[in-house]
Amino acid sequence: MPQNRLKGIYQEKVVKDYTASKVNVMAVPKVTKVIINVGIGKNRGNEKFVQDVTDNLTKISGQKPTIRKAKKAISGFKVREGDKVGLVVTLRGNRMCDFLDKLANAALPRLRDFRGLDPKSFDKENNFTLGVKEHNIFPEVTQATENIHGLEITINTTAKTQEDGTKLLKGLGFPFKENK
């Protein structure tokens, strides 16, 4: 079975950088999973929109998304318990590596006015979250789609610090802004 390009970069670049400073190979941070979320919002009653988002997420991720339903009713948002509120895909293994490679090398460079990712986008558990306003930056999605929607991409890592997480993602090819 051929190895993914991103796995090769991880072994050659990231692991060698950490092991050069006398760190155990098992202590090297890794990406465990990638979660892609799309909120349906006001279009939850529009079945065509939900189907379009499902098709787009399937093309982008290579796997069918699951529909998330509201756990409780919120009258201010006119949401009833059981209403469709979003779609989510969790990627692991080879699909995760393929998606991260595509995100870093094909999709992010297509963003308008993109100057790099913000290194402050790590949470307390050192997982990186990225919001994309338009789904059509991915090459699989045709430009003629009428319903443009956003994505929220969370990259779960085993990094202990924000600096380790940034170093890991930089090693995998993600462009970050330089702190001044």
CB 61 within 8 A of CB 35: no
The CATH number that applies at residue 85 is 3.30.1440.10
Q: Count up the domains in the chain and report the number.
A: 1
- Is residue 61 in a domain? yes
- Confirm if 81 and 70 have CB atoms less than 8 A apart: yes
pLDDT over 80 (residue 180): no
Please tell me the distance from the alpha carbon of residue 120 to that of residue 138, in angstroms, as a whole number: 24
pLDDT of residue 153: 94
**C-alpha 48 chain-centroid distance:** 24
pLDDT tens-digit series, residues 90-106? 999 999 999 999 888 88
> CA nearest 130: which of 67, 177, 163?
177
Residue at 177 is within a domain: no
Asked, for residue 103, whether it belongs to a domain, the answer is yes
Residue 108 has pLDDT above 90, yes or no: no
Question: 41-81 pLDDT, tens per residue?
Answer: 777 778 888 888 888 899 999 899 998 888 888 888 777 88
- Map residue 152 onto helix, strand or coil: strand
Distance CA 7, CA 34 (A): 15
Q: Return the CA Rg of the chain.
A: 18
The band of 143, judged by pLDDT with boundaries at 50, 70 and 90, is: low
**Nearest Cα to 87, choosing from 121, 138, 36, 34?**
36
Which H/E stretch holds residue 84?
strand 84-91
- Average pLDDT over all residues of the chain: 85
Report whether 131 contacts 172 (CB < 8 A): no
Distance of CA 110 to the CA centre of its chain: 16
CA–CA distance, 86 with 81 (Å, rounded to integer): 13
| Inside any domain, residue 24 | no
Facing residues of 69 across strands?
Answer: 84
Identify the domain containing residue 87 by its residue range.
Answer: 5-19+30-171
Q: Is residue 122 part of a domain?
A: yes
Residue 178 falls within a domain, yes or no? no
89, pLDDT greater than 80: yes
Q: pLDDT tens digits, residue range 152-170?
A: 999 999 999 888 888 889 8
Structure tokens at 104: 């870093």
The structure's pTM equals: 0.86
Instruction: Answer yes or no: is pLDDT of 179 > 90.
Output: no
In a domain, 78, yes or no: yes
Q: Is residue 88 part of a domain?
A: yes
